[in-house]
Amino acid sequence: MSPPEGRRAAVASPTLAFMTRFAAITQPLIGIIGLTMVTLGLLFWTGNALTLIPLHMLLGLLLVLILWSLAVVGAVAGVNPVHVGVTALWGFLMPVLGLAQGALLPGDAHPVIQVLHLLVGLAGIALAGSLAARIRRRGDRHGEIG
């Protein structure tokens, strides 16, 4: 038997508030990490700052953790399962490509892998940002109801 409406809202509220706050905290983080990753990547592309590759990889790992956390929170919040699933999958795809890319298509065709790596990275940032926005919208909507 489901609890009365008021009680359900009281039970759900702290969880919703946590999810909304989590999404609100990750949103600017995703932007900062994304901008740093792209800037570092473009520097590497032009043969600069190669000593910062470990930092780039560490930030990539952080981004993966954010993607997976948002996927879990998004699933609990009832966000579109396709969006949640693709975001979780991207958390695997992005680091796998990032770690393997040095060995992929060596030679003249390597720029194809580099562009692919950039596009997969940008898509990961976009997925994370839009999922965080969706979680916040859900939290705000339910917050209004009570």
Under the rule (CB under 6 A), what is the footprint of ligand HEM? Answer: 37-38, 41-42, 44-45, 53, 56-57, 60-61, 63-64, 94-95, 98-99, 101-102, 114, 117-118, 121-122, 124-125
Q: What six digits make up the tokens of 128?
A: 């994370």
Angle at 97 between CA 94 and CA 100, to 5 degrees: 145
CB of 28: closest distance to ligand HEM in angstroms?
16
Nearer to ligand HEM, 11 or 61 (CB): 61
Report d(CA 89, CA 98) in Å as an integer: 14
CB of 142: closest distance to ligand HEM in angstroms?
31
Report d(CA 115, CA 31) in Å as an integer: 20
CB of 49: closest distance to ligand HEM in angstroms?
10
Under DSSP, is residue 79 helix (H, G, I), strand (E, B) or coil?
coil
Report d(CA 142, CA 9) in Å as an integer: 9
Report d(CA 20, CA 133) in Å as an integer: 9
CB of 80: closest distance to ligand HEM in angstroms?
23
Nearer to ligand HEM, 78 or 102 (CB): 102
Residue nearest to ligand HEM (CB): 41
